[in-house]
Amino acid sequence: MFNRAILSFFIFAGFPLFSAKFEMKDLAYRNLVLVNSEALLERTVAVSHFASGWLELTPDNLENLSAEFELDVRTFETGLELKNIQLREQLLSAKEFPIAKATCSTSTGFQKTKLVDRKPLAVPVECSIKLKNTQKTIPMNLKLIYFKENEESRQRLTGNLLKVSTVWDLDLASFGIVIPAKYSALIAKTVQVTVDMVGSDRLPDNTLSLPEGLKKK
């Protein structure tokens, strides 16, 4: 009787009973990574939609959360070609190190808690980030929002969804990124990084995972 009650609860809540893996692979390129550099003389904003990865967790116990993400830094766009060259080639050495990666897990001591449909939840994690030829572990908070599949959520992707977002300050020097003296007033030494991604526990079979009305003709 007790086990049947537990089973009924999870089915009603839309949660998988055990560990669930949310794949963040959207061929519509709606995931994004945004970098904001607020230097003395000017602000530069760069964005890339070529971010993907996965996040695995048990919905009623987030102590075992794990995730991997990657970003093609060659795809950063600032809106100005000269800025693109400065960012991609001169700072990030994108030709030599095209992919930035992050591996994350729940921080030690995080209290057991549950995901609730549509209720934002902040989870402290430790993320090992590899950028260029340097790898460092950075603490940050992941904001998670779970969406049980319905007509509204299917406008983004099929399946139950997990929205993952975070914002943190990145010290460029800690990753061996040296700003040339002539750019010291144009590019900040510390930049703000914003990540916003959505993953599904059941990706669609079709190659275009776009909501109705946005598909290519």
All domains in the chain, ordered by first residue: 17-200 (2.40.128.110)
Cβ atoms of 194 and 37 within 8 Å: the answer is no
> Does the pLDDT at position 110 exceed 90?
no
DSSP conformation class of 86: I
Mean pLDDT of the chain: 88
Q: What does the block give as tokens for 13?
A: 């809540």
Residue of higher predicted confidence among 106 and 3:
106
Q: How many angstroms separate the CA atoms of 113 and 154, rounded?
A: 27
**For residue range 34-76, what is the model confidence (pLDDT) as tens digits?**
999 999 999 999 999 999 999 999 988 888 899 999 999 999 9
Q: What is the pTM of this model?
A: 0.86
Largest Cα–Cα distance of the chain, in whole Å?
72
**For residue range 133-157, what is the model confidence (pLDDT) as tens digits?**
999 999 999 999 999 999 999 999 9
Cβ atoms of 123 and 146 within 8 Å: the answer is no
Reduce the DSSP state of residue 155 to 3 states and report it.
helix
- Residues 6 or more apart whose CB falls under 8 angstroms from that of 185 comprise 39, 40, 41, 42
